[in-house]
């Protein structure tokens, strides 16, 4: 009896250590399809999660990120509601790379080929950082293929990045250019080209993005590396666009608010109860 009482007391003490509403981290859902798309000069890696017959939702990762970037954030929840398509942009993951092709226009063409291959006429898009930039470029060129667009921590030109961060990015790119010239190996050239996308790209104006006519949600952090005036101008420039500033969030650290802010905001935007 004493042992049973001790065990029960221990269980109660363990439960008390966890705050009310505590939940274990959601497990990554099973991938229902995996493959590669022939984009002419490279093979593009993709994966699909969630509901086979659900509405498509394309996730676009940040600079240097691959198809697994959202595994620990929005993917588990979004896969409950959508057919979620993840992709490794050229030069990342197991996708191929071709020198001199790392730009948003080429990557936008890659997305067209991916959607055509999957026989998807129209999709929702969520893009983080450079993924959001790609989403904007893709939408401007292919509005008929976009159901809605959510961008997070995105900019339409380098003037939108905080000056100190842009100086760091440019310095890192110059170092990689020198290193690639000295070594001449593909691995260094890929790193150079990926970093180079943040130097001079994208090169859009607020007038350019005013042409976007699909529903848009613009998310950014209170302490984002993208200047707040720039983020607000993105919202203001697109008719009917909504915005959300994550209080306390930085750039990547916005994902610390996935369960409390991001997922509820996304599902509300998509008209789904959380």
Residue 11 in any domain: the answer is no
Q: Over the chain, what is the mean pLDDT?
A: 91
Find the CATH number of the domain harbouring 241.
Answer: 3.40.50.1820
51-54 long-range contacts (CB < 8 A, ≥24 apart) are: 51/79, 51/80, 51/81, 51/82, 51/83, 52/83, 53/83, 54/81, 54/82, 54/83
Residue 215 in any domain: the answer is yes
Residue 96 in any domain: the answer is yes
Residue 169 in any domain: the answer is no
| Residue-wise pLDDT tens digits, 133-179 | 999 999 999 999 999 999 999 999 999 999 999 999 999 999 999 99
| Residue-wise pLDDT tens digits, 181-235 | 999 999 999 999 999 999 989 999 999 999 999 999 999 999 999 999 999 999 9
| Residue-wise pLDDT tens digits, 10-43 | 433 333 333 333 334 578 889 999 999 999 999 9
Q: Using the predicted structure, report yes or no on whether residue 57 has a pLDDT greater than 50.
A: yes
- What is the C-alpha to C-alpha distance for residues 262 and 133, in angstroms, rounded to an integer? 18
Q: Is the dihedral of CA 212, 157, 152, 34 positive or negative?
A: positive
Q: Name the pTM for this structure.
A: 0.89
| Predicted local distance difference test score (pLDDT) of residue 25 | 58
Q: How many domains does the chain have?
A: 1
Question: Is there a contact between 132 and 152 (Cβ–Cβ < 8 Å)?
Answer: yes
Residue 128 in any domain: the answer is yes
| Predicted local distance difference test score (pLDDT) of residue 153 | 97
Structural domain of 88: 22-161+204-269
| Predicted local distance difference test score (pLDDT) of residue 18 | 37
Residue 108 in any domain: the answer is yes
Residue 262 in any domain: the answer is yes
Residue 190 in any domain: the answer is no
């Amino acid at each position: 009896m004493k042992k049973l009482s001790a065990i029960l007391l221990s269980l109660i003490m363990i439960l008390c250590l966890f705050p009310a509403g505590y939940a274990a981290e959601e497990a990554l859902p099973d991938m229902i399809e995996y493959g590669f798309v022939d984009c002419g000069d490279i093979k593009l890696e993709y994966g699909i999660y969630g509901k086979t017959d659900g509405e498509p939702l394309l996730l676009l990762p940040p600079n240097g990120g691959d198809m697994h970037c959202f595994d620990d954030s929005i993917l588990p929840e979004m896969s409950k509601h959508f057919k979620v398509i993840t992709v490794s942009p050229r030069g990342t993951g197991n996708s191929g790379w071709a020198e001199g092709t790392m730009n948003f226009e080429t990557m936008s063409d890659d997305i067209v080929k991916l959607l055509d291959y999957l026989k998807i006429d129209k999709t929702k898009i969520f893009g983080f950082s450079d993924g959001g930039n790609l989403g904007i470029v893709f939408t401007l060129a292919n509005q008929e293929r976009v159901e809605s667009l959510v961008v997070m921590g995105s900019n339409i030109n380098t003037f939108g990045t905080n000056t100190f961060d842009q100086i760091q990015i440019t310095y890192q790119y110059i170092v990689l250019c020198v290193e690639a010239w000295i070594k001449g190996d593909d691995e260094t050239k890929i790193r150079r080209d990926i970093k180079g996308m943040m130097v001079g790209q994208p090169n859009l104006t607020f007038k350019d993005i005013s042409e976007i006519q699909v529903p848009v949600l613009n998310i950014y952090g209170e302490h984002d590396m993208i200047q707040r005036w720039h983020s607000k101008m993105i919202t203001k420039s697109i008719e009917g666009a909504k915005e959300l500033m994550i209080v306390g969030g930085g750039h990547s650290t916005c994902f610390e608010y996935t369960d409390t802010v991001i997922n509820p905001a996304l599902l509300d935007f998509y008209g789904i109860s959380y």
